[in-house]
């Protein structure tokens, strides 16, 4: 059973004063929950199946969402193409020249995806990337920027822009040339 909050106490008090018959039914167990009593009293709207589905979708993990979409496709509710992940082309990693990588001190989502792709392809950690950028190998700021959309120093963003251009067309396992590491 969920912990009672101050809001629950306020709702119970309101039921007791304004809707004593519903409050009595709640206390006797005729109405099984406070939420259902509040709906019956008209103090809260009744949640539709769609509301419940939306709430569950937002709480689901990526794996659970993919599994659900696969199940929907198997039931014939979705075309099969909706469940197959897009196959990235080698040119998909390359940003058009002049496209910004950040908005102020925050990396854009497309930049985060590009950095993650390069890191996965080259098997780099955030420490390795920071080292390649010419900074001390403390990858925590970069890791926070990639996972929590935290801000980065402007000097790191400028170095990342150069690093992204350098790494845009590299083959898997290939690193930058030794001359490229010197800034």
pTM: 0.44
Total structural domains in the chain? Answer: 2
Does residue 11 sit within a domain?
A: yes
Does residue 78 sit within a domain?
A: no
The string of pLDDT tens digits covering residues 12-35 is: 999 999 999 999 999 999 999 999
Does residue 145 sit within a domain?
A: yes
How high is the pLDDT of residue 38?
A: 93
Does residue 162 sit within a domain?
A: yes
At residue 41 the predicted structure's pLDDT band, cuts being 50, 70 and 90, is: very high
How high is the pLDDT of residue 24?
A: 95
Quote the CA–CA distance of 82 and 94 in Å, as a whole number. 25
CB–CB of 11/2 below 8 Å?
Answer: no
How high is the pLDDT of residue 37?
A: 94
Does residue 75 sit within a domain?
A: no
Please state the φ and ψ torsions of residue 107, each to the nearest 5 degrees.
Answer: -70, 145
How high is the pLDDT of residue 36?
A: 93
Can you spell out the DSSP letters for 121-167?
Answer: HHT--HHHHHHHHTS-S--HHHHHHHHH-----HHHHHHHHHHHHHH
Quote the CA–CA distance of 35 and 81 in Å, as a whole number. 40
Mean pLDDT for the chain? 81
How high is the pLDDT of residue 66?
A: 83
At residue 57 the predicted structure's pLDDT band, cuts being 50, 70 and 90, is: confident
CB–CB of 149/107 below 8 Å?
Answer: yes
- Same domain for 23 and 97, yes or no, is no
Helix (H) or strand (E) holding 180, with range, is helix 178-181
- Same domain for 37 and 100, yes or no, is no
Does residue 128 sit within a domain?
A: yes
Write out the residue range of the structural domain in which residue 23 sits: 7-41
Does residue 159 sit within a domain?
A: yes
């Amino acid at each position: 059973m969920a912990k009672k909050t101050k809001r629950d106490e306020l709702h119970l008090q309101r039921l007791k004063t304004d809707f004593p018959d519903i409050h009595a039914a709640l206390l006797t167990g005729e109405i099984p929950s406070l939420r259902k009593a509040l709906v019956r009293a008209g103090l809260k709207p009744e949640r539709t199946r769609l509301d419940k589905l939306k709430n569950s979708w937002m709480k689901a993990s990526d794996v659970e969402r993919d599994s659900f979409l696969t199940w929907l496709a198997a039931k014939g509710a979705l075309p099969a193409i909706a469940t197959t992940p897009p196959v990235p082309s080698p040119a998909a990693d390359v940003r058009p020249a002049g496209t910004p990588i950040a908005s102020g001190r925050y990396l854009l989502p497309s930049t985060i995806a590009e950095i993650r792709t390069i890191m996965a392809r080259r098997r780099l950690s955030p420490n390795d990337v920071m080292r390649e950028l010419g900074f001390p190998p403390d990858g925590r700021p970069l890791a926070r920027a990639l996972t929590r959309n935290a801000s980065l120093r402007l000097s790191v963003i400028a170095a990342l822009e150069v690093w992204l251009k350098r790494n845009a067309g590299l083959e898997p396992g290939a690193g930058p040339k030794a001359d490229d590491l010197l800034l």
